[in-house]
C-alpha cells in the first residue's frame, strides 16, 4: 500500500485492523490502521476540515500517538502511526496482578495530560481502556484509537464504548462531555491499582447493569498499602453522576498530586 509494506497483524476490532508495517523510503517501522468503513467526519472549530485524521495529525502532544500519514487508496481508508515495540497496556494485565502504585500513578497522570489537551480542543475520546494505551520506552504512555471521538456535549446518540470502561451516560446514550473520559480512565486506574476490574458481569448486559448500579470496593480495602487519599481519588472518578466526578482532567491530576504518594517506589 503506497509507500508502506504491511507485515504482521497486531489487532483487529469492529472499526478495522492494525498492522505492523515498514516505511519503504525511511526503513522506519510503523503501525498502519486499515478502516472497515470511512472515518466519521467531525467538525473541527476554527478550521475548514472535517476529517478526523487531519485533525489528529495536528495534535502535537507527547501523550497522543503521532499520526504520520493518512489517506485512501483503491477505496481503502488508512492511517499510518508511530509504532510501539512494547504494545498496549492490555498486554500487562493478568487476573489479580496489579501494577505498582508508582506506575499506576505516572501512567494515569500522562493519560490525563493527554486528555486535557484533547478536551481543550473541544473533543472527547470515548474509548479509554488499556488496549488503547500504548507503552513506549522510559514508562511513557500514549493514547491511540480515536475511532469514537466526538465533540464535547454532542447530542445524545446510541451507546458507544467498551463495556467495563464505558461511563453510565455512555451506556444510557445520553449527552457526553470530558467527565465521560475521566470515568473510563478511573476504571483503568482502578484496574492498575487493584489487579481487578472495577465492574464485572457474566454477560455484557450484566456488566453494563453493574456499571450503572454497583459500586466497586475501595482500592484501599483490597490492598491496604494503597493510600486512602488515592483510593478516594479513584472512587470519585467512578461516580455514577458526572456532577460528582472531577470537573476536568487537570483537577484530577491535582488531586492525585495532593494524595502524597510521590514517595512510592517503582
DSSP SS3 for 230: helix
Q: Give CA–CA dist 95/241, Å, rounded.
A: 29
pLDDT band for 14, please (50, 70, 90 cuts). confident
The string of pLDDT tens digits covering residues 15-38 is 788 999 999 999 999 999 998 877
pLDDT band for 9, please (50, 70, 90 cuts). very high
The per-residue pLDDT for 48 is 45
pLDDT band for 1, please (50, 70, 90 cuts). low
Grid coordinates of 147 = 475511532
Q: Exposed (0-12), middle (13-18) or buried (19+): which is 65, by Cβ within 10 Å?
A: buried
Domains of the chain from N-terminus onward: 4-82 (3.30.200.20), 89-257 (1.10.510.10)
Q: Is 127 a catalytic residue?
A: yes
Contacts of residue 155, defined as CB under 8 A and 6 or more positions apart, other chains included, come to 175
Catalytic residue among 23, 50, 116, 127: 127
Q: H-type helices in 125-257, by residue range?
A: 168-171, 178-194, 204-213, 219-222, 228-237, 249-257
Taking each helix axis from N to C end, the angle separating 178-194 and 228-237, rounded to the nearest 10 degrees, works out to: 140
- Mean pLDDT estimate for the chain: 88
Q: H-type helices in 121-217, by residue range?
A: 168-171, 178-194, 204-213
Amino acid at each position: 500500500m503506497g509507500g508502506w509494506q504491511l507485515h504482521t497483524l497486531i489487532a483487529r476490532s469492529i472499526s478495522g485492523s492494525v498492522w505492523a508495517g515498514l516505511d519503504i523510503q525511511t526503513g522506519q517501522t510503523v503501525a498502519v490502521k486499515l478502516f472497515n468503513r470511512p472515518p466519521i467526519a467531525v467538525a473541527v472549530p476554527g478550521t475548514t476540515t472535517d476529517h478526523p485524521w487531519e485533525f489528529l495529525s495536528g495534535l502535537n502532544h507527547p501523550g497522543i500517538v503521532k499520526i504520520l500519514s493518512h489517506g485512501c487508496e483503491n477505496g481503502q481508508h488508512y492511517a499510518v502511526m508511530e509504532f510501539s515495540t512494547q504494545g498496549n497496556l492490555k498486554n500487562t494485565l493478568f487476573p489479580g496482578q496489579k501494577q505498582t502504585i508508582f506506575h499506576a500513578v505516572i501512567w494515569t497522570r500522562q493519560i490525563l495530560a493527554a486528555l486535557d489537551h484533547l478536551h481543550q480542543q473541544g473533543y472527547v475520546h470515548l474509548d479509554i481502556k488499556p488496549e488503547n494505551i500504548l507503552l513506549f520506552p522510559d514508562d511513557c504512555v500514549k493514547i491511540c484509537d480515536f475511532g469514537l471521538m466526538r465533540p464535547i456535549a454532542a447530542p445524545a446518540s446510541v451507546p458507544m464504548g467498551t463495556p467495563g470502561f464505558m461511563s453510565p451516560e455512555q451506556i444510557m446514550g445520553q449527552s457526553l462531555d470530558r467527565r465521560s473520559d475521566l470515568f473510563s480512565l478511573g476504571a483503568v486506574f482502578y484496574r492498575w491499582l487493584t489487579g481487578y476490574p472495577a465492574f464485572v458481569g457474566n454477560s455484557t448486559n450484566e456488566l453494563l447493569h453493574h456499571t450503572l448500579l454497583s459500586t466497586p470496593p475501595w482500592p484501599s480495602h483490597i490492598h491496604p498499602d494503597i493510600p486512602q487519599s488515592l483510593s478516594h481519588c479513584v472512587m470519585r472518578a467512578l461516580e455514577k453522576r458526572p456532577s460528582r466526578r472531577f470537573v476536568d482532567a487537570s483537577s484530577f491530576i491535582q488531586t492525585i498530586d495532593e494524595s502524597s504518594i510521590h514517595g512510592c517506589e517503582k
